[in-house]
Structure 1
């Protein structure tokens, strides 16, 4: 079975639409290294092919676009062969994943991501940078890395920090889920279509009269998707609780924010679930997310991804990620034993995660964006 299925759909005038399908329905299309490599290579080829007018990326099945990276396989490799940073398996996976994410952000052709169903972690990394991000009423989006001792990577350090009222940081600290209406509000999506409209969208793309000038293709895709919008009203928890989130995040320090959330009495299930996310999540992840927002305020996307690779390989050389994945996905006891509690998070501990494990000039993503 191919990790990603590729097809070209003819649409007249010598043009075609490239279709890429993440092909692991049983794992909710969890992102693996073979998937990353296959998709990256095909995106390069399609970008250079003048007959391809746009690309569509989706996931197999109806349940998920992509539920995130295959962290169970990564954890298994780390447990089998413990090493100091940079572990070669972690370095290879994350560096190639982040290179793919960067390519999507900079892609020179319209790239439609069909974000139906579950879109989490690495799946959001694929979707966030696409030129046309399509959601449905069934879309469920989250960056729940605090539950496994990681942090919102795949460019999350860049796009979460650009959300209003520190909502991105709130999402990082709590792992709170978003729906399609939330995603539009927070610039994680562009269009909402009916859940069953995927085939109709492909048909419309193939029947579309594509302008002769490729510079007009992105506008054409926006017009097409706009004409298919599903106008069913969706409640946005983020919009409904905007003032509450802003107040909670305006406490001054991480300790104060956690205390404010812990002491709050929430009747709303969405807020209550978010509260449990931070109180049971990894304290080091929360402190890293807080520090990431401070450090990335004026960084480029390429610089942020370089920082994320440093963080990710350092985290893989410590215990919280291994323990978090064990508790949530392997033993499933949901009782992680984090390496440090809330009262043990000093600056030296957090800063050490940002120390490059590579010699000067040898960072694997040194050429990104150059």
Structure 2
């Protein structure tokens, strides 16, 4: 395969063509760089207007990951280069990534995402925006931004708020890892298909007579996916979220966010999944936990366009703040896992400090034209 960070192909079908996108940086688990975001945006724009391209298939190279997120180390370099901002590279990255995510969510043609292996952060943003999201037996999804003092962005404010019960808030605060069954239950995925069927699925897609009407082509994609999903029923793993729904809802039933955080951290549990979620929040940034909760609350009734505008505002303020740089340093740069968070508990955070993250840092939102 090419050494390009993304490989684009047009595969001839019986009638029409299928665009194929392969995120191609397996050494970094296909993590997105600004170059990759721009390449993907340009190709999506071109294929949207090409009447011969009927659908797009998006995958990651290698067996380990679809996409493990964004290039956080590059964001860190940008943040520490200009403390307090503007952090030009990081802010450009967020703006252009969110624009690309919005393009995916609103794309008229079928987008089939093969969400195999690790799907985290920016990778989940890509998958969540596609119209036909496939997960496999190796899919592992997480939005662990609380551990580096970021927040579940790339549309997380949209899809987390649309999950059942308090699931979205719990996953956002704890960064808990979920699998394919959980993705189906929470609405992050549409089909479970065992990975062994991927070559046959692509072959079936190429045997179709595609239409010039995107509505007909969405039906064709569903027709192609359905039999492989039916054949894969016996391979689907047991879920974690649905069996724990009562506990999740109870833990997140607090008079305020501080009580919710206390509930999760104070758990005495032998359940390994709940224990990992508890420990992740306990060791994460309490300031980040507060802006994560506030962001979800403020966008709970927002449109998709408003969600990405709100995320651009919060991400800009976060990357200009030293808490983010310290979180990335401790987890990914020095890897000492000993972040010097500014506040020991969520109750220590002054209200004015939290408010500052929700004020516009510029005269006009860079996504105002969405």
Do the structures match in fold with TM over 0.5? yes
- Counterpart CA distance in 1 for 2:139 and 2:92 is 30
Contact 2:65 2:117 in 1 (8 A): yes
Q: Provide structure 2 residue ranges, at least 5 long, that are not aligned to the other structure.
A: none
Q: CA deviation at 1:357?
A: 1.2
1:268 aligns with 2:255: no
In structure 2, relative to structure 1, the CA distance for the partners of 1:172 and 1:214 (3 Å cut) is closer
Q: CA deviation at 1:313?
A: 1.2
Q: CA deviation at 1:85?
A: 3.4
- Counterpart CA distance in 2 for 1:228 and 1:82 is 50
TM-score under structure 2 length normalisation: 0.96
Contact 1:86 1:314 in 2 (8 A): no
SS in 1 for 2:241: helix
User: Per-residue displacement from partner, 1:87-127 (whole Å, max 9, x unpaired)?
Assistant: 21122100000000000000010001110000000000001
- Counterpart CA distance in 2 for 1:33 and 1:289 is 24
Contact 1:85 1:357 in 2 (8 A): no
Residues paired across the two proteins, number: 364
Contact 2:68 2:123 in 1 (8 A): yes
- Counterpart CA distance in 2 for 1:48 and 1:210 is 16
Match of 2:339 among 336, 339, 357: 336
User: Per-residue displacement from partner, 1:221-277 (whole Å, max 9, x unpaired)?
Assistant: 012101111112421110110100011111221111122222221111000000001
Q: CA deviation at 1:315?
A: 0.9
Aligned pairs for 1:1-370 within 5 A: 1-13=3-15, 15-79=16-80, 81-211=81-211, 213-229=213-229, 230-232=232-234, 233-342=236-345, 343-359=347-363, 362-368=364-370
- Counterpart CA distance in 1 for 2:92 and 2:214 is 34
Q: Provide structure 1 residue ranges, at least 5 long, that are not aligned to the other structure.
A: none
User: Per-residue displacement from partner, 1:67-95 (whole Å, max 9, x unpaired)?
Assistant: 0000011112222x214333211221000
SS in 2 for 1:365: coil
- Counterpart CA distance in 2 for 1:212 and 1:57 is 20
Contact 1:86 1:357 in 2 (8 A): no
Contact 2:10 2:20 in 1 (8 A): yes
TM-score under structure 1 length normalisation: 0.96
- Counterpart CA distance in 1 for 2:244 and 2:237 is 15
SS in 2 for 1:165: coil
- Counterpart CA distance in 2 for 1:197 and 1:95 is 36
User: Per-residue displacement from partner, 1:186-242 (whole Å, max 9, x unpaired)?
Assistant: 100001111222222111100123346432110110121011111124211101101
SS in 1 for 2:114: strand
- Counterpart CA distance in 2 for 1:196 and 1:284 is 43
